[in-house]
Amino acid sequence: MSLTGALRQSLTDFYFNSWRLAPANLVWGVGFIAVIVAGPLSAAGVVILVLLAIPLAGLHRMAALLARDEPVGFSDFVDGIRRFAVPAVAVATGAAVLAAVFTTNIVVGLAAGGPIGWFISALALWGDVALAMLLVAWWPVLVDPRREGLALRRRLALAGLVVIGRPGRVFGLTVLVTAILIVSTVLFAAILLVSVAYVALVSARYVLPLLDALEARLPEGRPPG
């Protein structure tokens, strides 16, 4: 599916399932408000931000089920939280640590100046970009009903396969997801009720078919790792 096709199909998915998806998005939105109140850079804010991975897993579970043409209900959001909370928080914690390291290196490199400092900053920037791409691919793979029996390490490897196998497409998806979230954060009401669920739908509709095609080319269809 093209990215444009994923955007259109996700609009249809959200329209016909808005009464299920909007309340789930609002649960995530309440946590987002808590991050703002606590302060995104405070210890409490960082902890809450990592814990937002839990309702995010529930939202992506609903999106993955729709991408697999299965019916969904709000109970699938709750089930996604129950089943995927631990791996979601584990990966979110690791991603937060890596993002902090990369971002710090960007600042340090720019402050140092000179070719070496600029090289360090550029390398760290691409580290942040690669991390964002991996996370965009990771969420649909984590909750994919066709792969939920795989070990966490193997699902991470599959997400990496999507990034390495189709870097241009995943980069475009990551830019689009980031842009939607930034704009909806400014609008605020959108990110509380719509946009997180919508980008989950877009990611699932786009990433899972890419992974299916790439995995079919592996020997005996076995996932990497």
The three-state secondary structure class of 150 is coil
d(CA 90, CA 86): 6
Provide the terminal-to-terminal Cα distance of the chain, rounded to the nearest Å.
26
DSSP 91-134: HHHHHHHHHHHHHHHHHHHHHH-HHHHHHHHHHHHHHHHHHHHH
Query: Residue ranges per domain, the chain?
Result: 3-221
Does residue 148 register a pLDDT over 70? Answer: yes
Please give the average per-residue pLDDT across 143-147, as a whole number. 95
pTM, rounded to two decimals: 0.92
Higher pLDDT, 141 or 112: 141
Instruction: Quick: pLDDT tens for 86-123.
Output: 999 999 999 999 999 999 999 999 998 888 999 999 99
Measured CA to CA in angstroms, residue 163 lies from 80, 158, 167, 210 at distances of 24, 9, 5, 10
* pLDDT for res 66: 97
d(CA 29, CA 94): 22
- Inter-residue contact 59 to 28 (CB < 8 Å): yes
* pLDDT for res 149: 87
Nearest partner of 157 among 81, 58, 91, 96, judged by Cα: 91
d(CA 109, CA 217): 41
Please give the average per-residue pLDDT across 138-165, as a whole number. 94
CA dihedral over 80, 82, 83, 85, signed as positive or negative: positive
